[in-house]
Amino acid sequence: MSGHSKWAKIKRQKGSADARRGQMFTKLGNSIAIAAKNGGDPSMNPSLALAIEKAKAANMPNANIERSIKRGTGELGGEQISELQFEGYGPAGIGIIVETATDNRNRTTSDVRTAFSKNGGNLAETGAVVFQFSRKGVIRIASGEDADVTMLSALDCGAEDVIEADDELIVYTEMKELHNVRTKLSETGIKVLEADLQFVPNKIIEITDPEIAKKVIKLMDAVEDIDDVTNTYSNFDIDEALL
């Protein structure tokens, strides 16, 4: 891939918004509900299977998972969950994509707009930012004792590209191949840490100014703190020393 942003890793290391267990379960539950709109049987719905897998990895109780599935399929009644996607710009011209799951479109739109406007960013028209990204399957795997051998195995499993990122490997796939590649990796004995569809930046904007780095992280944290936000993607990279 032409660009790899470490924002996902930065989030894991900082433990920002998702450090609050209740909020994390809310976000995971919303993701499950959205996936379940296409069918409540994970064996027939790969997107739901991935959402459930991520929830279980976070120790989300089975009762919560089942309730989220029923919420998505409409079995529980009430307001239906819908997806909203926002695009915007942040400090230094970074592009940001925000995915949300909500039962109140007006509330979510207002919350996202406020997070941007109060933290040096601004929302953009649909299509103004997304062209800077490619929609890909992204799988984090353990590199194992020999990263080169693991890379070759991942390519044999159908990966489009594999890059080394510290002590793990990032596997990229075509959207429709994510589930197949993830399954083949597991069958080969490779430890899959996480698998998901993501927006991958086509080009990275390097942030080297400490003050701009602070502003970028403040904006991203504000967006992540919104309960309805399920995923954020950006094309910036910050040297870990600046953090």
Each residue's pLDDT tens digit, 63-108: 999 999 998 888 887 677 889 999 999 999 999 999 999 989 999 9
Three-class SS state of 234: strand
Task: Tell which CATH architecture fits domain 133-201.
Answer: 2-Layer Sandwich (3.30)
* Structure confidence at residue 17 (pLDDT): 44
Three-class SS state of 170: strand
Domain range 7-73, its CATH number among 3.30.870.10, 1.10.10.200, 3.40.50.720, 3.40.47.10: 1.10.10.200
Residue 93 burial (CB < 10 Å; 0-12/13-18/19+)? exposed
Taking the domains of the chain in order of start, what are their residue ranges? 7-73, 82-131+203-242, 133-201
| Angle, CA of 26, 224 and 198, to the nearest 5° | 85
pTM of the model: 0.85
* Structure confidence at residue 178 (pLDDT): 92
Identical topology for domains 82-131+203-242 and 133-201: yes
Check residue 61 and report its DSSP letter.
Answer: -
Rounded to a whole number, what is the distance in angstroms from the first to the last CA of the chain? 25
| Angle, CA of 220, 31 and 65, to the nearest 5° | 130
* φ and ψ at residue 91, rounded to 5 degrees: -55, 145
**Which residues, listed in sequence order, are joined to residue 165 by a DSSP beta bridge?**
168
If one looks up domain 82-131+203-242 in CATH, what number appears? Answer: 3.30.70.980
Q: Which of 10-14, 18-22, 123-127 has the lowest mean pLDDT?
A: 18-22
- For 133-177, write each residue's pLDDT tens digit: 999 999 999 887 788 899 999 999 999 999 988 778 999 999 999
